[in-house]
Structure 1
Amino acid sequence: MHEQPFQPRARSVIRQHLPVGERLRLARLARLASKKIVSLLSALLCAAPLLYLLGVVLFAQP
């Protein structure tokens, strides 16, 4: 099999050509996006057991 030579991550290559202000803005956006993803995942983790219990209660046979 033919292996491709090691290439640096595209993200770091793109950042090298950007001005400092743009780099800072991108870093801020990435941080904000990661915070949103973490909060969304934690909300889903909290909601899953509650939805399960709700389903058990609603569909329980009398």
Structure 2
Amino acid sequence: MVFLSLVLKACVFCALGILLRGTLARYRFDQLLQLSWKYFFFIWLGFCILNISFISFFDFFLI
């Protein structure tokens, strides 16, 4: 079940990345690095905390 969730998340993020890459303007490398440190790092950190909380919550009730 965890593997299926991981594969589904990977497919969704790959599709989202392909769609964004094709529709939005091209970023220069320095602009991309600036975006990654200002916004994407904190979004990634929030997703990690959210995933850990969901896993621990559902693992607690499934045992």
Q: TM-score, normalised by structure 1?
A: 0.47
Q: TM-score, normalised by structure 2?
A: 0.46
Considering fraction of residues, name the structure with more helix: 2
Q: Which has the larger radius of gyration?
A: 1
- Say which structure, 1 or 2, has more relative contact order (CA 8 Å, 6+ apart): 1
